[in-house]
Each structure stands twice: as C-alpha cells, then as structure tokens.
Amino acid sequence: MIGAGAVGKVYVATCRKTSKNVAVKFLRKSFLRRPSVVARFIDEAAVLARLKHPGIIRLHGLGRTPQGGLFIVMDLMSGGDLARRIAASSVAFADAARWTAEAADAVQHAHEQGVIHCDLKPSNLLLDADEHVIVTDFGLARDESTATEATVIAGTPAFMAPEQVTDFYGQMGPHTDLYGLGAVLHTLLTGRPPITEVGTVETLAAVVSGKPVTSPDRLRPDIPPMLTRVCMRCLQKQPEARINHAGALARALRDPMILAHQ
C-alpha cells in the first residue's frame, strides 16, 4: 500500500502481461454496499477513459475481484506528490510556477472534455520520473453539463472554492478548478494552504466569508509581485473575478517576467 484516502486505498502491483509496476486503487470494503459511492468510483474510471493528456494519469482498466471488490488500475508515478515535496522543503518559485502551469494544462484539457475536477490539491498532483506534474484522483469530478449548485459539500475544505460550499456564489464550473489551482500555487509558494482555520466548520466558514484569503507575499515577502498577482487572481471569492480559463493561467505562469522581482 502506498496511499489511502477516505474512500479508497492505493497499492503498487505488477502487471503480469507487461511485468511493469502499476498503481491499483481499491474502493474500501465498507463502501461496497453504498450504491452512490460505487457509482462514483465507476464514474471516476469512465472520466479517466475520456481524458487523453500527458498530464493526466492514464487508466489501464476497471476490475472486480472474485470477492466483489472494485479496483481501478493506473500508471504508477515514481516522484511522489506535491504535498510530500512541500512538506520536505520550501519550493523554488520557478518550480511552483512550472508545476502549476503543467497542472493547468491538464485541467484545461479536462475542461475541454466537459470535466471539472473539483478536488485540486497538492496530494492529487503527482510527479513523474522527470518531475512533470500528473493530475490524478477524479473521484469528485463533475460533468460540466450537469454541474449545478453544491447540494452536497464535497472536497477538501482548505482548497475548496466558495461555490462548492454555497450557491450564494453561483454554480460550479471550470472557474471552480481555477480557484483550486490558485490554492495549489499558494501552498507551493508559502508551504500552507490559503485557508488555515482549525476544524472543518471553521474552514468552510472562512471559505465562504467575504474576507479575502491572505496574499502569499504577506507570508513570504520575497515572492515575485507578478507571481503573487496571478495567484490572487485565481483565489478571488467571486468566480467572475478569476482568471478566465486554465489555459490562460498556464500562459501567465510561463511569462518570462513571472519571476521578475521589479
């Protein structure tokens, strides 16, 4: 086992046909009798089957064990995830910009296929052997054509956009992932997410409050001003105030001036 979440556990396994190691995500046994959770797990595999991008984890298949367990087989990434990298040491500004841009490229592809990720965070961004970002865990993904108000609050509170918590901010959409990318960038730059309240209720209250998130340069004054501005554009509470789309964010983060200190 190499990882575990609320719904599943991830293991390293060897594919008998190719002799290559792969990642196998199992749905926890406690959820096998919950049709809605089973359907979401199967939907995750269906979403991955639709997405063909070098920055999105590749699906090998969906299967069931003889005992009835459900599993998804995916590529195994050797570089760990961004959460571990952040915990190990401070991240260089150039790496923060590059990794977020790579994630934005992948998210833009998902949006073009009508898929909204809805759970972007450092632990869901893996690194391959060449230290390129690979987006994974589409377990909370929504189809843009059916995404509406947040009737059920689902996600990781410190990285959730306000519209994921209350319909006061409107419907979820591609702009929801722009907030998530901004939260990832904030964490890469400062070592902490944009919301750091203690407790889920307090965190969600801060997410939907009118108070802006703390600008990353207040926590790390040497962050280049343009990089700070791009980050804060993504983290606007009002969806219409955010950067237009993930592709535009990727281009902004690759601007040669993004790391300039004047």
Instruction: Quote the CA–CA distance of 149 and 72 in Å, as a whole number.
Output: 29
Instruction: Quote the CA–CA distance of 200 and 186 in Å, as a whole number.
Output: 20
The question of whether 128 is a catalytic residue gets the answer no
Say which DSSP state 169 is in. Answer: G
Instruction: Look at the chain and count its residues.
Output: 262
Please report the beta strands in the chain, taking only residues with DSSP state E, as ranges in sequence order. Answer: 3-4, 8-14, 21-27, 59-64, 70-75, 115-116, 125-127, 133-135, 142-143
Spot the catalytic one: 75, 81, 105, 119: 119
Per-position b or e across 177-209, b if 16+ CB within 10 A of its CB: bbbbbbbbbbbbbbeebbbeeeeeeebbebbbe
Backbone angles phi, psi at 162, to 5 degrees: -55, -35
Instruction: Quote the CA–CA distance of 20 and 146 in Å, as a whole number.
Output: 38
- Catalytically active residues are 119
